[in-house]
Every structure is written in C-alpha cells, then in structure tokens.
Structure 1
Amino acid sequence: MVKFPAAGRVKTRLARDIGRVAAAWWFRHQLRALLRRLEDPRWQIWLSVAPDTALDSSVWPAHLPRISQGQGDLGVRMRAAFEALPKGRACLIGGDIPTVQKHHIAASFAALGAKDAVFGPATDGGFWLVGFRRTRPLPPKLFQGVRFSTEHTLADSLASLGGQSHAVVAELADVDTAADLASARSR
C-alpha cells in the first residue's frame, strides 16, 4: 500500500515535524530501499497505489505490477486490494516500515498455512502487515468501525474478523513522527 511521494500528500504526520519536502524525500527513499530488500522469488510484490493518477508514474519500479487503491477509507482500500489480487495467500504492508526483512514476510506467509489471517502488530497499537489465506470469503465486516491511526487500530481490526482464525507475527515500528524516524535511524 503506497502513496505517490509528493510533498504535502504523503507522510503528513511526519511532515508536521520535519517538513513536507523532507517527509516526501524520506518516504521515496525508504520505499525504494524496502522494495529492493523484499524482492524474493518466493512471492510476487504488487504495488497498491494512491492516487489513481500515479499508477503509471516512473517513480515505481517498472517491473512491479500495480493496482489502484481506489476510493474510501484505509479499510475499504485494503479490502479492495485483497479482492483485486490473484487468488491465494496475500499480505499487505505499508512503505514506512524500515526494519521489515524477508524473514518477516516469509513468517507471515507461513502463518497463513494454518490460519485465515495474519497481523504484524506495530509498536503504536496499529499493524504493519495484514494478510489473508483467502480460501474462504473475507469477513463481511472486515475493517468496519476500525479507528485507524490510533492505539486501537489492531484491536479493532482483530474484532472485525468475524471469528476467522488469526496469527500474530513480529512487532515492528512504522514511521509516523520525527521521534519514530529518530528511533528507526538509531536501529
């Protein structure tokens, strides 16, 4: 799940702390490093891009397939991404998780061998990864009523699973503020 790295339109909470241009620059370089680091023959990386007008941008690596995030809140857009991707196990992550490595992604896909869903909790109460095995329909109320960008995001999301089984993998930090950025740089 990625946004076009335009100043003032991406990483807006971080931009309040370090400025719009610096936040966009950080995100663009972070995303490039993340994509290089996570490419692996065990999975196919797809970019779920916002806004729709940025689908064909030269910012994105040409060899990676892209889908539109479409409209709606984050929950609506994530659900749409799961429905647009080819059948089988799928995981979504954001582009702002500097410490994610291939072994985190592999563990998430492995968890989907036994569970319907997998979440990678974030240190702020949200999540850095969500995945579904997709052998049965997604829960009807998936991501409805979720208080995104709060300490309740993960708990609300788990409550929206409607009884589907889930696993939890490693907790990682995303970068939303200057303090998060400083912490990431110290790791």
Structure 2
Amino acid sequence: MLGIFGKKPEPGKVKTRLAAGFGDGFACEAHEAMLLDTLDAWASDRFLAPGGRRVFVYSPGDAGPWFDPVVPPGLVMQPQAGGDLGARMRAFFEGEFGDGADRVVLIGSDSPTLDPSIVIGAFLCLESKDVVLGPATDGGYYLVGCRPPVPPIFEGVAWGTSAVLGQTLDRLRGAGRSLAVLPPWYDVDAPDDWRLLGSHVRAMRLSGMDPGLPRVESLLPRVLPAPGTP
C-alpha cells in the first residue's frame, strides 16, 4: 500500500526555507499546491492498480475538517501519530503492518515531479528486498518503503538535516535487513529548489509531456522570470 504524508497549509508553519526567499504567504500557497497536486495524482488509478490501498496521513491531528473537502475520494485519510517525524513514520508502518499489509511505501508532497515509475519500482523492489530508499539530493530521502517488521531506521536521526540519509543507513547497517536504492530525486524546500521545479515543469511542457501539476504551474509565474527573460 501507498502512504502520503502531508501537513495542513498554514503561513509561517510550512516551507520556512522557501518563505525566507519568497515570503510566508507564497510558501504556504506553494506547499498547498504541491500537496494537492500530489494527492490528485496518486488518488487516481493511472499509476497503481485499481483498488489498492492509498492513505493520506495528515498533520496536525485536528486538521481533518480542513482536508475533508479537498482530499480526493480515492484516498483514505488518517491523522499522523505524535512525536518527531521518525516516530510518526514508524507508527504509520506499524499500523499498516498490523492491518495485514506486506509491502508499504511512503512518500511526501515535496517532490511533485517524482516519476511515478520510481514509486512503482519501489513496490517491485520490496518483492525481494526488506527496505527501499529513494535518496533526495538534499541529503534526506523522498521515499521509504519496507516489509514487516519495521526496520530500526526511524530513531536517532537528525530530521530535517543533510545527515538524514547517512544516519538512516547507519541505523540499517547490522540490522540484518536487505536494502534496495532508487534513483536520486529532488525535494522542494528552498528558493533554488522552486526554481529547479519551474525549469523542470517548463522542460516537460516543451517536450510535449503534461506534468499533471495544474496548481503548481499556476504559481510558477509569480516568482520566476518569464521564459526568455535574462
């Protein structure tokens, strides 16, 4: 099954590094656009087999009423557990395994251009490997998946830093669990990441591809130069 972690858009509480360059208001809009575009993409049956369990795991815990009218019906909704990011991810995996899942993959909304084939590949990796990681170019990871039991990779990690992937690998070493690694991808956290996202989306359009990110595309002209502008 596929899980998607996401946070309620609130100015000053999301995308703080993006806000440092573009302001709290725009950073909140960008966060909301990436989140809702991601949810729309994975709620459909375009990429995963129809009927597969797909869960949007939101925070804070009282944000359900905000999300109810905007989350696509193809997604189950549940609140994140308490604690730091590692504790919340561990609780999610434990809950899904407790309900009978044998392969669980978790992503966020910070990589809206993520190639769906990579996520599908993560599930295929878990047919023969115990853990799968998608390294992010900022030193973290954009995807984590595993088979039961939950591996010991969610404690002792400095979340939100460039040390996340390395510390995760340190936690996995010696645990007796096999690992698969996916191609690197980028998260959108800072102004330069947003500029990369804008160029990536423009390149997809120019090549004849539909990025499938209508909300994100509508925001790009707000803080990025028009095509051809020096």
Give the TM-score normalised by the residue count of structure 1: 0.91
Specify the SS of the correspondent of 2:57.
strand
**Are residue 176 (structure 1) and residue 176 (structure 2) matched?**
no
Deviates more, 1:121-130 or 1:159-168: 159-168
* Partner in structure 2 of residue 103 of structure 1: 117
Amino acid at match of 1:98: P
Tell me the CA shift for residue 66 of structure 1: 1.3
Matching of residues 104-143 of structure 1 within 5 Å: 104-134=118-148, 137-139=149-151, 141-143=152-154
Q: 1:56 aligns with which of 58, 65, 70?
A: 65
Q: RMSD of the TM alignment (CA)?
A: 1.5
Retained in 2: the 8 A contact 1:37–1:102? no
Instruction: Tell me the TM-score normalised to structure 2 length.
Output: 0.75
- Does structure 1 residue 5 correspond to structure 2 residue 19? no
State the secondary structure of the residue aligned to 2:196. Answer: helix
Which protein has the larger Cα radius of gyration, Structure 1 or Structure 2? 2
Take 2:134 and 2:39, find their aligned partners in 1: how far apart are those partners? 18
- CA shift at 1:53, angstroms? 0.5
Which deviates the most, 14-23 or 172-181? 14-23
2:54 and 2:74 in contact (8 A); partners too: no
Match of 2:30 in 1: 26
DSSP-derived class of the 1:26 partner: helix
Tell me the amino acid that sits aligned with residue 120 of structure 2.
A
- Counterpart secondary structure, 2:54: coil
The runs of 5 or more residues in structure 1 that have no matched partner are none
- Distance in 2, matches of 1:118 and 1:3, equals 24
Query: Aligned partners of 1:102, 1:179: CA distance in 2, in Å?
Result: 23
Residue 63 (structure 1) shift = 3.8
Could you list the structure 1 runs, at least 4 aligned residues long, displaced by more than 4 angstroms after superposition.
Answer: none
- CA deviations 1:100-154 (Å, max 9, x no partner) are 13211110100001100100000011000000122xx213x33211122222111
Asked if residue 148 in structure 1 is aligned to residue 152 in structure 2, the reply is no
How far apart, in 2, do the equivalents of 1:118 and 1:170 lie?
Answer: 11
Aligned to 1:79, the other structure's residue is in SS state helix
Q: Name structure 2 gaps, 5 residues minimum.
A: 201-230
Q: What secondary structure does 1:32 align onto?
A: helix
Partners of 2:182 and 2:193 in 1: CA distance: 21
Cα distance in 1, alignment partners of residues 70 and 20 from structure 2: 24
Match of 2:81 in 1: 70
- 1: CA distance between counterparts of 2:16 and 2:154? 22
Q: Please, which moves more after superposition, 160-169 or 107-116?
A: 160-169
* Aligned length, in residue pairs: 184
